[in-house]
Amino acid sequence: MNVIPRLPENTKPVFWSFVIGGIVTMFLGFNFFGWMLESTAKQMASEQSMAQVVKALFPICLEQAKRDPKYKEQLVALEKESSWSRGAFVEKTGWANVPGIEKPYSGVADACAEQLSKSFTLPK
């Protein structure tokens, strides 16, 4: 005797409707509704926190640059550097060293160099 229950005739279309609906929902969610994986969220949070650290610390770099007795000479030398090496130049001058922190944060040096280059006018 065969006791296997029979599924209703419309079971297969309903199953595929759920599968396709799930795929469409995931596609729309990840592409248009802002869903993201945990790893993507962590990466975004890390990038935003780094940007905020730079934003908070680079004014210290600018102030230290302005207080440097060799500011004029260093500013002229900074302008002679290529745009790729200006951050390293600022690190070498010590302007990017935040008091109490041993090694300068590289993003701070880059932001400081960019700002100094934008406002390049020799002080009188």
Which tokens hold the place of 35? 């869903």
Query: Is this structure's pTM higher than 0.85?
Result: no
What percent of the chain is helix, strand and coil (3-state, nearest 5)?
65, 0, 35
Give 10-residue mean pLDDT values along the chain (124 residues).
73 90 96 94 94 90 90 89 88 86 83 84 53
